[in-house]
C-alpha cells in the first residue's frame, strides 16, 4: 500500500492532487488533503444532491453552510440548532464515541453565540439479543449522559431503535438546541488581513488522528484496531470553554469563530479562510500541546476535543486573553490572516504545508455517483389469521422498538436549567425560554423500516412524523436539521436511495414549510459489506408562543371522549405488527398525503391553542392502540374503545396510516370541536372514552393497567440489568 492509499486517497484523487500542486506533497500536506477530501469533510458524494434541499423560509436566519442553522423566534431571539452523527467512533468505543458526539454538537451551537438549552438524540443498535448490543447500548447511553450531564445541558428527548441491520454499525445522532439574541450571532467567515488567529480550549494531543478518514470508511472484522482514532472527551473542559466563549462574545472582540471538530485544526482553519476568501498562516510552535514533540502532521490532524479557533480584533486580544485565563482555558495566538489565499503551516522554522485553499474546498473531488433503482422483490403482507388482538397489543408493547426507554432516559439529566416543561411526558421535548412565556419543542424522528422499503416515502414520513410530534406539544413547527445515515455510496442502489431520500425530505419540507437549516451526512455505515437500513434522522424544532395555553394540557379526565384526527387505520403492510410477528417487513409503507398532513396538523394546533382538547398524541409506530396505551399509562387512566366492524379490528388497532393523532376532549366541547374540524375539512372519528382504569375494546377484550405497564416497561431493564 503506498502512502496515498494508506490515506484513503485513490489513484484518480492522487493524480488530481499532484496536478494541483505541481510537485510532490509533504507528509503533512498529504495528511491535510486526506482529511479535507474525506467523505466526512468534503461531502464529495452528497454535495451535488444536498443543494436540492429546501432551505428557505421567513423564519430562517441562517440555513446550511455554517456551524449550525438559525431560526427566528421573535422578540429579537433566535434558536440555533444542528444534529450530527458520531456513528463510527461509537461503534469502536461507545462511551467516548457518544460523549464526544454530544460535545461536538454543543460546540457547533455555542460557537455561533448560543447558550445550549437542550440536547436530543437518536440512537440505533442491532437486535437487542445480539451479543454486542448490550455493551454498545450501555456505553452509548452512559457517554451521552456523562457528557451532557456534566456540562449541564438537559437531554430532553430522543428515540432509540433496534434492527439487525445495525448489528455491525450502531448509530449515534446527537442534536443540540441553543438560544441567543438575533444581534449576537457569530459566524465562521474570517476577515482582516493580519488579524490574529487564536487557539482556545484544551491542549492538542495525539487522539483522534484521522478520525474523519476513519469515519469515511467501512468496517470489517479488524475495525477495533481503529480505537486510537477515537477522541476522548472532557466535558469539564467543555463547560469552561463554553462559559469563556459566551463571556467573550459579550465583548465585541470576535471577528469569526469555528470549533475544531472533525479534522481539527486543519478543517477549522481552512473553512474559516475559505469563507472569507483569505489566506491563513499557522505557526504550530505556539499550539498548546499535551505532550512534547508532536509533529506538524499530528497537530494538523489531531481531533483532540474541546478546542476552538477564532479570528480576533487585534486591539481586543488582551481582553480575550484575560477572559480565557479567568476560566482556566488555554489561549494562544497561533497565526494570522493573510492575503495569499493559501494555508501555510510553519513548524520549527520550516514550511510544513503551503496549499491553495480552493484545492481543499471548492476544487475538492466531487462525485455524481452512479445510481440505479433496485427492483425490490414484491413481498405480500402475510399475517397469521390466528393473531389475537390482546396478545398482539402486549407483544408489541414488549417489543424493542416500542417498549419504554425509561432505562435510558433516566440516565440523562432532564431537569437541569429548570425549564423542562414536560419531563418525559409527551411526543416531543419542551423547554421554556427563561424569563418569557415562550417554549421550544423538539423531536428526532425516522422510521428505518419505511425508509428501507421506500426511500422517498420513508424520508417524507420522517419529516412529517417530526412535524406531528411538535404539533402534539402545541408548538408551531419551525425548521429541521438532519443526519443522513447510509451505507456505501459507491453502490448504485444505495446512492439511488440517498437521492430519493433528499427528494422526499425536500418535498415534505416544502409542503409543511419546515425547511432544512443544518445537517450532516454519514456514509459508509457498513461492516463486511452489509449496509445499515437508510436512516435519514430528522430533528425539528417548534415554538410555543405562550405556555399558558398548555396549563392542564396533557391530563386525561375520566369521561373525556377519545377522537382520532384523520381516517381509521387499515394499512398493516410494513407495520410494527408485521415486524413483531414476521420478523421482516413487506415493502409497502403507508402512503403520505402532505396536503392532508398539513391540514390535520394545523387543525390540531388550533384545538390545542384554543384549549379545546385535554391531550393530544400522534399516531406512529404500532398504530392507534399503542398511542392510546401510552396515553393512559402516562396518566394512569383507562380507556374504552369501540370498533364497529370486527373484521377491521386489526387494521384499526395496528394500522400505521399517516397524518393522524389521538385527542381527548371534554364531552361538552365536542360540538365546537366538530364544527371547527368540519370547517377546516379535517376528518375525525370517535374512538371511545377515558375511564379510571383498564383498556377495554368492544367488551370482549380487557387488558389491565398492570398488564400494559409490565409489557411496556419490563423488556429493556430485564436485558440490561441482567449482568450475566
Partner 1 sequence: MNVTIIRFPGTNCDLDTANAVKKVLGIVPKIISCKEDKIPKSDLIIIPGGFSYGDYLRSGAIAAREPIMDDLELRANQGVYIIGICNGFQILTERKLLQGSLLKNSSLKFISKSVELKINRNDTFFTSKYQTDEVVNIPIAHHDGNFFADQDTLDSIEDNNQVALRYLNPINGSLNNIAGLYNKNLNILGLMPHPERAVDLKTGTNDGSRIFESALNFYST
Chain positions contacting partner 1, by CB under 8 A: 142, 145-146, 149-152, 234-237, 239-240, 327-328, 409-421, 423, 432, 434, 547
Cell numbers found for residue 29: 500536506
Pick the closer one to partner 1 by CB: 202 or 639: 202
Spatial contact of 281 and 346, defined as CB atoms under 8 Å apart? yes
Q: How far apart, in Å, do the first and last CA atoms of the chain sit? A: 43
State in angstroms the smallest separation of the CB of 111 from partner 1: 19
Pick the closer one to partner 1 by CB: 198 or 547: 547
**Gap between the Cα atoms of 108 and 302, Å rounded:** 18
State in angstroms the smallest separation of the CB of 552 from partner 1: 11
Spatial contact of 576 and 655, defined as CB atoms under 8 Å apart? no
Pick the closer one to partner 1 by CB: 388 or 406: 406
Query: Reduced to 3 states, what is the DSSP secondary structure of residue 443?
Result: strand
Cell numbers found for residue 61: 436566519
Spatial contact of 242 and 236, defined as CB atoms under 8 Å apart? no
Look-up of cell digits 438549552: 117
Spatial contact of 423 and 417, defined as CB atoms under 8 Å apart? no
**Gap between the Cα atoms of 499 and 501, Å rounded:** 5
State in angstroms the smallest separation of the CB of 638 from partner 1: 24
State in angstroms the smallest separation of the CB of 415 from partner 1: 4
86 as an active site residue: the answer is yes
Pick the closer one to partner 1 by CB: 157 or 521: 157
Sign of the C-alpha dihedral, residues 264, 270, 275, 276? positive
**Gap between the Cα atoms of 40 and 67, Å rounded:** 14
State in angstroms the smallest separation of the CB of 70 from partner 1: 23
Pick the closer one to partner 1 by CB: 639 or 716: 716
**Gap between the Cα atoms of 240 and 322, Å rounded:** 14
Nearest in space to 105 (alpha carbons), one of 59, 60, 37, 151: 151
402 sits in the region (left: phi over 0; alpha: psi -120 to 50; else beta) called alpha
Query: CA triplet 399, 540, 361: central angle to 5 degrees?
Result: 115
Residue 26 DSSP code: P
452 as an active site residue: the answer is no
Pick the closer one to partner 1 by CB: 151 or 176: 151
Of 7, 54, 86, 88, the catalytic one is 86
Nearest in space to 440 (alpha carbons), one of 85, 53, 116: 116
Beta-strand pair 307-312/196-201: antiparallel
**Gap between the Cα atoms of 99 and 147, Å rounded:** 5
State in angstroms the smallest separation of the CB of 128 from partner 1: 18
Give the list of residues 6+ apart from residue 225 with CB closer than 8 angstroms, or none: none
- How far is CA 564 from its chain centroid? 29
State in angstroms the smallest separation of the CB of 155 from partner 1: 9
Spatial contact of 91 and 163, defined as CB atoms under 8 Å apart? no
- With 0-12 / 13-18 / 19 or more C-beta atoms within 10 angstroms meaning exposed / middle / buried, residue 130 is middle
State in angstroms the smallest separation of the CB of 44 from partner 1: 38
State in angstroms the smallest separation of the CB of 523 from partner 1: 33
Query: Reduced to 3 states, what is the DSSP secondary structure of residue 127?
Result: coil
State in angstroms the smallest separation of the CB of 544 from partner 1: 12
The 8 Å CB, 24+ separation contacts for 19-26 are: 20/356, 20/359, 20/363, 21/355, 21/359, 26/352, 26/353
Pick the closer one to partner 1 by CB: 33 or 327: 327
- Largest interatomic CA distance in the chain: 85
H/E element holding 370?
none
Spatial contact of 269 and 355, defined as CB atoms under 8 Å apart? no
State in angstroms the smallest separation of the CB of 138 from partner 1: 9
Give the list of residues 6+ apart from residue 538 with CB closer than 8 angstroms, or none: 444, 445, 446, 462, 463, 465, 466, 480, 481, 482, 505
Of 7, 40, 88, 617, the catalytic one is 40
Name the residues annotated as catalytic: 40, 86
Amino acid at each position: 500500500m503506498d502512502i496515498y492509499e494508506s490515506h484513503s486517497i485513490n489513484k484518480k484523487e492522487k493524480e488530481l492532487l499532484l496536478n494541483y500542486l505541481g510537485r510532490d506533497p509533504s507528509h503533512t500536506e498529504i495528511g491535510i488533503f486526506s482529511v479535507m477530501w474525506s467523505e466526512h469533510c468534503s461531502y464529495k458524494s452528497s454535495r451535488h444532491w444536498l443543494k436540492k434541499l429546501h432551505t428557505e423560509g421567513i423564519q430562517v436566519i441562517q440555513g446550511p453552510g455554517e456551524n449550525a442553522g438559525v431560526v427566528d423566534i421573535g422578540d429579537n431571539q433566535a434558536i440555533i440548532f444542528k444534529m450530527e452523527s458520531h456513528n463510527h467512533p461509537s461503534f469502536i468505543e461507545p462511551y467516548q464515541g457518544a460523549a464526544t458526539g454530544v460535545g461536538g454538537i454543543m460546540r457547533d451551537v455555542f460557537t455561533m453565540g448560543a447558550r445550549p438549552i437542550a440536547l436530543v438524540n437518536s440512537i440505533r443498535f442491532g437486535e437487542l439479543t445480539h451479543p454486542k448490543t448490550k455493551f454498545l447500548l450501555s456505553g452509548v447511553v452512559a457517554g451521552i449522559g456523562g457528557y451532557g450531564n456534566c456540562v449541564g445541558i438537559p437531554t430532553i428527548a430522543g428515540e432509540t431503535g433496534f434492527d439487525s441491520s445495525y448489528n455491525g454499525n450502531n448509530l449515534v445522532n446527537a442534536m443540540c438546541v441553543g438560544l441567543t439574541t438575533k444581534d449576537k450571532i457569530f459566524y465562521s467567515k474570517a476577515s482582516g488581513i493580519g488579524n490574529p488567529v487564536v487557539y482556545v480550549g484544551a491542549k492538542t494531543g495525539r487522539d483522534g488522528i484521522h478520525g474523519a478518514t476513519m469515519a469515511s470508511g467501512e468496517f470489517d472484522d479488524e475495525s477495533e484496531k481503529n480505537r486510537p482514532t477515537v477522541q476522548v472527551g472532557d466535558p469539564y473542559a467543555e463547560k469552561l470553554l463554553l462559559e469563556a466563549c459566551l463571556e467573550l462574545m459579550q465583548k465585541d472582540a470576535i471577528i469569526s469563530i469555528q470549533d475544531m471538530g472533525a479534522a481539527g485544526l486543519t478543517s477549522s482553519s481552512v473553512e474559516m479562510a475559505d469563507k472569507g476568501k483569505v489566506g491563513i498562516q499557522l505557526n504550530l510552535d505556539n499550539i498548546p500541546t499535551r505532550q512534547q514533540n508532536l509533529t506538524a502532521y499530528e497537530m494538523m490532524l489531531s481531533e483532540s476535543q474541546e478546542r476552538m479557533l477564532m479570528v480576533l480584533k487585534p486591539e481586543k486580544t488582551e481582553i480575550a486573553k484575560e477572559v480565557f485565563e479567568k476560566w482556566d482555558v488555554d489561549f494562544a495566538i497561533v497565526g494570522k490572516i493573510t492575503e495569499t489565499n493559501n494555508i501555510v503551516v510553519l513548524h520549527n522554522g520550516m514550511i510544513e504545508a503551503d496549499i491553495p485553499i480552493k484545492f481543499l474546498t471548492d476544487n475538492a473531488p466531487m462525485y455524481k455517483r452512479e445510481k440505479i433503482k433496485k427492483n425490490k422483490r414484491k413481498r405480500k403482507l402475510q399475517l397469521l389469521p390466528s393473531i389475537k388482538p390482546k396478545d398482539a397489543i402486549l407483544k408489541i408493547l414488549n417489543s424493542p422498538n416500542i417498549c419504554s426507554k425509561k432505562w435510558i432516559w433516566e440516565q440523562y439529566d432532564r431537569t437541569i436549567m429548570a425549564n423542562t416543561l414536560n419531563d418525559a411526558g409527551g411526543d416531543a421535548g419542551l423547554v421554556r425560554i427563561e424569563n418569557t412565556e415562550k417554549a421550544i419543542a423538539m423531536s428526532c424522528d425516522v422510521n428505518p423500516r419505511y425508509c428501507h422499503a421506500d426511500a422517498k416515502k420513508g424520508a417524507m414520513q420522517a419529516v412529517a412524523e417530526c412535524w406531528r410530534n411538535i404539533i402534539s406539544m402545541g408548538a408551531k413547527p419551525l425548521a429541521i436539521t438532519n443526519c443522513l445515515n447510509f451505507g456505501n455510496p459507491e453502490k448504485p442502489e444505495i446512492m439511488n436511495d440517498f437521492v430519493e431520500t433528499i427528494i422526499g425530505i425536500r418535498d415534505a419540507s416544502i409542503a409543511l414549510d419546515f425547511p432544512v437549516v443544518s445537517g450532516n451526512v454519514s456514509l459508509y455505515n457498513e461492516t463486511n459489506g452489509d449496509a445499515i437500513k437508510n436512516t435519514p434522522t430528522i430533528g425539528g424544532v417548534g415554538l410555543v408562543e405562550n405556555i399558558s395555553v398548555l396549563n392542564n394540557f396533557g391530563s386525561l379526565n375520566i369521561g373525556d371522549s377519545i377522537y382520532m384526527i384523520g381516517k381509521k387505520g387499515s394499512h398493516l403492510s410494513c407495520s410494527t405488527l408485521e415486524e413483531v410477528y414476521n420478523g421482516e417487513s413487506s415493502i409497502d409503507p403507508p402512503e403520505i398525503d402532505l396536503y392532508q398532513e398539513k391540514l390535520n396538523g394545523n387543525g390540531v394546533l388550533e384545538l390545542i391553542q384554543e384549549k379545546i382538547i385535554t391531550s393530544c398524541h400522534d399516531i406512529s409506530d404500532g398504530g392507534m392502540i399503542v398511542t392510546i396505551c401510552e396515553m393512559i399509562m402516562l396518566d394512569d387512566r383507562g380507556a374504552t374503545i369501540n370498533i364497529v366492524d370486527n373484521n377491521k379490528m386489526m387494521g384499526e388497532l395496528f394500522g400505521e396510516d399517516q397524518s393522524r393523532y389521538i385527542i381527548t376532549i371534554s364531552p361538552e366541547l365536542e360540538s365546537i370541536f366538530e364544527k371547527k374540524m368540519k370547517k377546516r375539512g379535517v376528518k375525525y372519528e370517535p374512538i371511545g372514552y377515558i375511564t379510571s382504569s383498564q383498556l377495554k375494546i368492544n367488551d370482549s377484550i380487557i387488558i389491565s393497567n398492570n398488564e400494559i405497564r409490565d409489557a411496556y416497561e419490563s423488556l429493556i431493564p430485564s436485558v440490561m440489568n441482567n449482568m450475566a
